[in-house]
Amino acid sequence: MTKDFDLVVIDGGPAGISGANTAAIFGKRVALVEKLGKVGGAGINTGTIPSKTLRETALALSGWRSRKLFGVDLSLRREATVEDFMRHKEHVVAHDRKRREEQLRTYKIETFHGAASFIDPNTVRIAPDTLLRGAKILIATGSSPVRPPEFPFEHPRVHDSDEILEIGILPKTLAVVGAGVIGAEYACTFAALGVEVHLVDGRDSLLSFLDREISENIQRAMTAAGVHFIWKEKVVRCDAPANGKNNAHAHLRRDHRSGRRARRCRTPEQYGRPESHRGGSHAG
């Protein structure tokens, strides 16, 4: 089967949905292709919406704001499962995805699920017998977490930023590698839940694209919230015992510009009840 459209959009994430909606509003025949079983991309399924919902839930559940007001320690019980505070995230994500799906239906955009690959400059294949031809093709296939080879991502204590949303038990300690926006955000979220968080980065400042004064203020606030910073250190190796029951260790090396030295750091990733975890890149 070959179907013809004015525009074929490859991406069911926020960019693709916006592009598809806009073209449809202008009267174009539009197809949208998403390789996963659900639309939403990182924005709805694994990034913006879940991380923000999780952060708000974490702050509310941990009594962060009340604690500040009343000086009472309302931190979560250690036995609380991650599902306890993931439930709200699931609800918000499902609601937002449904809203986007309704938009696509409203604008009569035909949605296909399957990985798109090009046959020629105007034709993509999404299944052996399904070809879509577009006068124009919009490619907005987004991004996914980088998986550096020094991390054993197959291990149940090592997670990337997508999988951290699926851990089963709240860890006692967590090493977050990378002090960019996503690392900083998850460091704050888990610290708010009473997890001992160590944030490791080869650079020497938080969110270096910000004015230094702002960056320093954020770092001070995060330090007050319990986040430990390890600057100018790179993770050169990560040991994770095969049984999944003992701590994972990140081996750090001083950035050579500030004097090269290697050290083995008993880092910070010790789970309360490890047996119910699944693998994943944050943390080491």
Ligand X SMILES: Cc1cc2nc3c(=O)[nH]c(=O)nc-3n(C[C@H](O)[C@H](O)[C@H](O)COP(=O)(O)OP(=O)(O)OC[C@H]3O[C@@H](n4cnc5c(N)ncnc54)[C@H](O)[C@@H]3O)c2cc1C
What residue ranges bind ligand X (CB under 6 A)? 10-16, 33-36, 41-43, 46-48, 51, 115-116, 140-143, 161, 182
Least distance between ligand X and beta carbon 195 (Å)? 17
- Closer to ligand X by CB, 143 or 243: give it: 143
Least distance between ligand X and beta carbon 221 (Å)? 18
The vertex-73 CA angle with 71 and 74, nearest 5°, equals: 120
SS3 of residue 131 by DSSP: strand
Tokens of 54: 């999780």
Check the CA dihedral 214-209-141-31 and report its sign: positive
Quick one: angle between helices 48-61 and 181-192, nearest 10? 30
Least distance between ligand X and beta carbon 257 (Å)? 29
Quick one: angle between helices 48-61 and 82-106, nearest 10? 140
- Closer to ligand X by CB, 48 or 270: give it: 48
Least distance between ligand X and beta carbon 178 (Å)? 11
- Closer to ligand X by CB, 183 or 274: give it: 183
Q: Order of strands, edge to edge, in the sheet holding 117-120?
A: 110-113, 30-34, 2-10, 130-139, 123-127, 117-120
- Closer to ligand X by CB, 41 or 202: give it: 41
Least distance between ligand X and beta carbon 165 (Å)? 8
- Closer to ligand X by CB, 30 or 252: give it: 30
- Closer to ligand X by CB, 215 or 270: give it: 215
Cβ within 8 Å of residue 131, ≥6 positions away: 1, 2, 3, 119, 123, 124, 125
| Backbone angle region of 109, left / alpha / beta, with phi > 0 → left and psi within -120 to 50 → alpha | beta
Least distance between ligand X and beta carbon 25 (Å)? 18
Beta bridge partners of 4: 133
